[in-house]
């Protein structure tokens, strides 16, 4: 096992423990504040096609963002996982949560009958993660689905991570295969990624 893999694994363990220790009331209250900041951001206001996600247990609950986007006439897409090909596909939903179904590992995703949307049409990807830093670094759950999706040719959407403040770390261990986000929104602040800052790339 490489040093990078072990560093990621240890950070995932630490962040998962912290998330698991949060009470449902705290998750709900902080998620509500987070959604207010997301909805007030220029990222959302300027987007016609918005990609969000159906939250898992302990994740930031972005349901109000999905509901507001649908109500305002924006096109809403959610990630659909092709487990055999190990790839993420953007599929449009018009009813939430009516267009969703349960799948592996507690994930909820659009039904396969929901229409796929070309990545070039997406303006904003509201991106989940276990941890983020101020340099655009994102630590996912280890599947690499978002990293591969963000590498899709033609995808030019803004990438905005969403997280609780306790999920912001000094540095996310990463290498050149790990995709970056443009900004992170928490319940208390918006962090625009400092792409010109010190390199935050681990090797080995």
DSSP 31-43: HHHHHHHHHHSHH
Question: pTM, whole model, 2 decimals?
Answer: 0.94
Cα 97 to Cα 132: distance, rounded to the nearest angstrom: 27
Does the structure show a pLDDT above 90 at 135? yes
Residue range 138-197, pLDDT digits in tens: 999 999 999 999 999 999 999 999 999 999 999 999 999 899 999 999 999 999 999 875
Residue range 84-106, pLDDT digits in tens: 999 999 999 999 999 999 998 87
- In terms of Cα–Cα distance, which of 157, 158, 164, 159 is closest to 186? 164
Bridge-based pairing state of the strands 124-127 and 158-162: parallel
Mean pLDDT of the chain: 93
Domain ranges for the chain: 3-192
Domain 3-192 fold: Rossmann fold (3.40.50)
Q: In which band, very low, low, confident or very high, does the pLDDT at 200 lie, cut at 50, 70 and 90?
A: very low
CB contact at 8 A, 83 and 143: no
CB contact at 8 A, 35 and 62: yes
- Average pLDDT on 49-67 reads 94
Q: List beta partners, residue 109.
A: 101
Cα 94 to Cα 149: distance, rounded to the nearest angstrom: 22
Does the structure show a pLDDT above 80 at 202? no
Give me the pLDDT at residue 201, please: 42
CB contact at 8 A, 4 and 175: yes
The structure tokens listed for 110 are 């659009």
H/E run at residue 145: helix 145-150
Give me the pLDDT at residue 47, please: 97
| Cβ-based neighbours of 80, under 8 Å, separated by 6 or more | 88, 89, 90, 91, 109, 110, 112, 114, 116
Cα 166 to Cα 27: distance, rounded to the nearest angstrom: 12
- Average pLDDT on 71-89 reads 96
CB contact at 8 A, 55 and 128: yes
Give me the pLDDT at residue 198, please: 54
Give me the pLDDT at residue 38, please: 97
Cα 8 to Cα 44: distance, rounded to the nearest angstrom: 30
Give me the pLDDT at residue 197, please: 59
Does the structure show a pLDDT above 80 at 58? no
């Amino acid at each position: 096992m490489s040093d990078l893999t072990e560093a990621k694994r240890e950070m995932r363990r630490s962040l998962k423990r912290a998330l698991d220790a949060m009470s449902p009331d705290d998750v709900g209250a902080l998620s509500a504040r987070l959604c207010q900041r997301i909805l007030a951001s220029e990222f959302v206001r300027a987007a016609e096609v918005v990609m969000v996600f159906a939250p898992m247990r302990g994740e930031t609950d972005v349901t109000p963002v999905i509901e507001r986007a649908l109500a305002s006439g924006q096109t809403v897409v959610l990630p659909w996982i092709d487990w055999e090909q190990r790839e993420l596909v953007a599929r449009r939903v018009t009813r939430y949560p009516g267009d969703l179904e349960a799948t592996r590992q507690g994930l909820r995703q659009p039904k396969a009958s929901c229409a796929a949307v070309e990545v070039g049409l997406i303006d904003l990807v509201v991106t989940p993660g276990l941890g983020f830093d101020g340099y655009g670094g994102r630590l996912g759950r280890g599947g690499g689905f978002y990293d591969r999706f963000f590498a899709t040719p033609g995808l030019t959407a803004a990438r905005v991570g969403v997280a609780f403040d306790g999920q912001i770390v000094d540095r996310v261990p990463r290498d050149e295969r790990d995709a970056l986000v443009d900004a992170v929104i928490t319940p208390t602040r918006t962090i625009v990624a400092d792409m010109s800052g010190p390199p935050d790339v681990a090797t080995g």
